[in-house]
Structure 1
């Protein structure tokens, strides 16, 4: 419980940039002594530094999109390839922003006709060269850190579509917290997408399991399947079997 709270505090400080100890106490409903201990732990990790009355996030501690792409690169490519096999002719799909989901179009028949919604710059660039793909963009503000577009002024941009399949990314996945994300603007898009989608597929390498962040956009039992590797913890295999969630292995 403590570790989960510390993770949530770190994600919240990252979103805010800087924040007072009093506000952290209010948001997480804990005492100032507890917050100070948690902050000391995060300071040791090098993710933030203390200032008078509060803390600030250390920007250079963030892992860049490019470095996250390199991490577990082979696994991400294999997962993307397995997910690509799920896309069928005339599907209306959504591909989420992420270093694993961005691999999908590298492994799909370039002649396959389907409609694609996305907010991911790399997916947009790949789809633009596929003559039979009808491309629909989501988001009106570019976020360089994740190479994605965020912010929706008109929710009808999403809610008018009945999406067959959504290929989602998550910052963390856990049985108790489900599919989680730490960015409020990305969370809003993810939440709207899963509400409009028939079959939701999570793409996640082994590093994402047993982690959770501040915002849950879908319970784990509500999704259609997980595209992953065979090295995931056994408890997730058991959970998926008991909740009719398909496990689609890439290896």
Structure 2
């Protein structure tokens, strides 16, 4: 049981990039002393590092993205397929980097005319099959851990591009903290997209909810449509109704 919890804890940290000790205590329902002992053991793995109040995946740890790409793969594909159904001819879409958003173009008609803006290497590679798509890659610094490009010139997105629909990812989601990620350079891209896009689609599987990470790039109320495999009760159900957020379940 201890070894299983230990492995699950490592996988949880890899999936969320940064977690607090308090979050681990609540997630695994064990004492803080037990969490501290497990974390001390986890820190012997070179992929992890201790930060104030918690533990993070080290910058440059490619395993992080590779693991997240495999975890819940079928759930992520189902969510992406639902999202793809909202893409229409002549749309100007932004597809965020992420282990769910990367699958969207697998379900898009290869003859549909549209414009794709992205900072994701995987999205660009998949866009090759689309015969009538215009593709704009943003960001001039490549991050191997997330297979994404970061780094914008001032308000580059806000000034240069129109976006009718944005398909967004998040490392963590909650009512209080909104849509979160842990990288300041990706944060800037996401923030500008939220400000620019006509309609915001959030793709988030059930593992992303009620966790915290370093940066909030948007309020949950900014979302127009949430596509997820999570079943909600209050306070989420009431929040969605109050803020006119549609929820589409992938299962």
TM-score (normalizing by structure 1) = 0.77
Counterparts of 2:76 and 2:169, CA distance in 1: 11
Q: Pairwise CA RMSD of aligned residues?
A: 2.8
Deviation digits for residues 100-141 of structure 1 (CA, Å, limit 9, x no counterpart): 000100111111111110000010011123111110111001
In structure 1, distance between residues paired with 2:57 and 2:212: 20
Partner of 2:49: 48
Partner SS for 1:170: coil
What is the CA–CA distance in structure 2 between the aligned matches of 1:153 and 1:99, rounded to whole Å? Answer: 26
Is structure 2 residue 208 aligned with structure 1 residue 208? yes
Name the residue aligned to 2:89. 89
Separation in structure 2 between the aligned mates of residue 214 and residue 145 of structure 1, nearest angstrom: 17
Name the counterpart of 1:243: 243
**Residue equivalent to 1:153:** 153
Moved more, 74-83 or 41-50: 41-50
Structure 2 equivalent of residue 164 of structure 1: 164
With over 3 angstroms needed to count, the CA separation of the structure-2 counterparts of 1:139 and 1:84, relative to structure 1, is same
1:12–1:182 contact (8 Å) kept in structure 2: no
Find the aligned partners of 1:175 and 1:159 in 2 and give their Cα distance.
Answer: 30
Query: C-alpha displacement at 1:158, in angstroms?
Result: 4.3
Q: Is the 8 A contact 2:157 2:192 kept in 1?
A: no
Whether 2:138 is the aligned partner of 1:138: answer: yes
SS at match of 1:247: strand
CA distance in 2, matches of 1:63, 1:105: 24
Q: In the superposition, relative to structure 1, how do residues 75 and 233 fare at CA in structure 2: closer, same or farther (>3 Å)?
A: farther
Structure 2 CA distance for partners of 1:248 and 1:49, relative to 1, 3 Å: closer
What is the number of residues matched between the two proteins? 215
| Contact 2:90/2:115 (<8 A) preserved | yes
1:2-39 deviation per Cα after TM superposition (whole angstroms, max 9, x unaligned) = xxxxx9xx8499xxxxxxxxxxxxxxxxxxxxxxxx98
> Per-residue deviation at 1:236?
2.0
SS in 1 for 2:189: helix
Deviations 1:168-210 (A, max 9, x none): 0000000000001110000010001100011111100000000
Q: CA deviation at 1:231?
A: 3.0
Distance 1:164 1:58, change over 3 A: closer
2:108 corresponds in structure 1 to 108
Taking a change above 3 Å as real, the CA distance of residues 161 and 144 of structure 1, as seen in their structure-2 partners, is same
> Within 2, Cα distance between the matches of 1:84 and 1:57?
33
